[in-house]
Structure 1
Amino acid sequence: MKLVVVSAGLSVPSSTRLLADRLATATAGRTSAEIQVVELRDLAVEIAHNLTNGFPGKKLAEALDAVTQADGLIAVTPVFSASYSGLFKSFFDVLEKDALTGKPVLIAATGGSARHSLVLEHAMRPLFAYLRAVIVPTAVYAASEDWGAEGLSERIERAAGELGTLMRGLSTARPAKQAKVIPFAEQLAALSPPSPSGV
């Protein structure tokens, strides 16, 4: 299985990336999934170009393909102006509209104050519901005071457990692709030359 982590942190080091890594490690421990991290900071220029010309650059195309092919997704953003970052939203704006359909997604965010924790329910959950993802019940928010405090580790473990369960369940339930059966009459019609007009 493949677990893709999308981190929209802008600084180095980044608390957003730190939270993303902790969630990924906890999830991979339950699924033995291969982890791939997509750092949106490194793709900012290509995302902007894609929004204006409709074509992804090489690195952005690889990131979009990784998200599309993933068995599970962890999406983490810093909070700006009481919502997800513009870079975070822009990445999902250029993703194919059906890429997340039925895909298990764990949402998380970081911010300077616990007052912004509702961004998970008021902004992120509706975004991924619109994209028809399967969002795990537990979302994780980490304010500055949460690092090293009680509670964060438990939320990370609970959310990772939910994502791992969904990834294993959906992977097992996913039916094998079957070849499309074309009726013989349709095959024959496709081979026959078109009738002359007026006949």
Structure 2
Amino acid sequence: MKLVVVSAGLSVPSSTRLLGDRLANATAERTSADVRVVELRDLAVEIAHNFTNGFPGPALGAALDAVASADGLIVVTPVFSASYSGLFKSFFDVLDPDALTGKPVLVAATGGSARHSLVLEHALRPLFAYLRAVVVPTGVYAASEDWGAEGLVERIDRAAGELAGLMGGLAAGRTESAGALTPEPAPHTAVPAPHAAVPAARRTDRVREGGFEVIPFEQQLAALRPE
């Protein structure tokens, strides 16, 4: 399985990337998935050019393909002005609108204050619900004071377990679908030929089905015409 982390952190080192790495490690331990990290900071110029010319550059195209082909996605953004960053939103604006349909996604964010924690529910979850992704129940927000404090590790483990469960369920479903037998077509039932020698108004092509007598529409129509 393939797990992709999309990190919108701008600084080096970045607490946003650190949170993404911790979530990815916790998920990979449960799924043995191959992890790839997409750093949006390195794609900023190509994302801007994609808006103006309509075509992704080589690095952006590879990142978009990685996200579209992933079995699971972890998205992490810093909070700017009480919402996700513009770079983060721009990346998902140039992504194919159907690329995330049915894909498990874990949403996470970092910020300087715990007051921004509702960004997960008010901004990130609606965005990925609109893209028809399957967003795991637990989102992870890390404020500056959360690093090294009690509670963050538990939230990471709970969210990673939920994402791993969804990824495993989808993988199992694909395996079952690939091994399923193609159903045999229903046996052909011969239909009696109409009695051409009998006038249409007097035909008796009546079939008994479930205790009811079924009269073909053409026969009913012919019975209404004057002879």
Fold shared by both chains (TM-score > 0.5)? yes
Determine whether 1:103 maps to 2:103.
yes
Runs ≥4 residues deviating over 6 A: none
The residue number in structure 2 matching 1:115 is: 115
- Tell me which amino acid in the other structure corresponds to 1:64: L
Give CA-to-partner distance per residue, 1:93-117, whole Å, 9 cap, x none.
Answer: 0000100000000000000000000
Following superposition, the deviation at residue 177 of structure 1 comes to 11
The yes-or-no answer on 1:124 pairing with 2:89 is no
What residue is the counterpart of 2:67 in the other structure? 67
SS of match in other structure, 1:166: helix
Query: Structure 1 pair 112/177, CA: closer, same or farther in 2 (3 Å)?
Result: farther
Once the two structures are superposed, residues 12-69 of structure 1 have per-residue CA deviations (whole angstroms, 9 ceiling, x without a partner) of: 0000000000000000000000000000000000000001111000000000000000
The 5 A counterparts of 1:19-168 are 19-168=19-168
In structure 1, distance between residues paired with 2:139 and 2:170:
20
1:3 maps to 3
* 1:141-183 Cα deviation digits (max 9, x unpaired): 00000000000000000000000000000111123499xxxxx
Secondary structure (helix, strand or coil) at the match of 1:5 reads: strand
**Which letter maps to 1:56?**
P
Q: Which amino acid aligns with 2:55?
A: F
Amino acid of the structure 2 residue aligned with 1:145: E
Q: Which consecutive unaligned segments of at least 5 residues does structure 1 have?
A: 179-199
Distance in 1 of aligned mates of 2:148 and 2:115: 18
Aligned-partner Cα distance in 2 for 1:51–1:128: 20
SS in 1 for 2:150: coil
Query: What letter matches 2:19 in structure 1?
Result: L
For residue 103 of structure 1, what is the amino acid of its counterpart?
K
Change in 2 beyond 3 A, CA 1:69/1:177: farther
- The DSSP-based 3-state class of the residue aligned with 2:37 is strand
Distance 1:121 1:103 in 2: 18
SS state of the match for residue 99, structure 1?
coil
| Whole-angstrom distance in 2 between the partners of 1:9 and 1:94 | 18
How many matched pairs? Answer: 178
Once the two structures are superposed, what CA deviation does each residue of 1:110-144 show, in whole Å capped at 9, x if it has no partner? 00000000000000000000000000000000000
Query: So what's the TM-score if we normalise by structure 1?
Result: 0.88
Identity %: 83
Which one has more relative contact order, counting CA pairs under 8 Å at least 6 apart?
1
Q: Residues of 2 paired with 1:145 and 1:76: CA distance?
A: 18
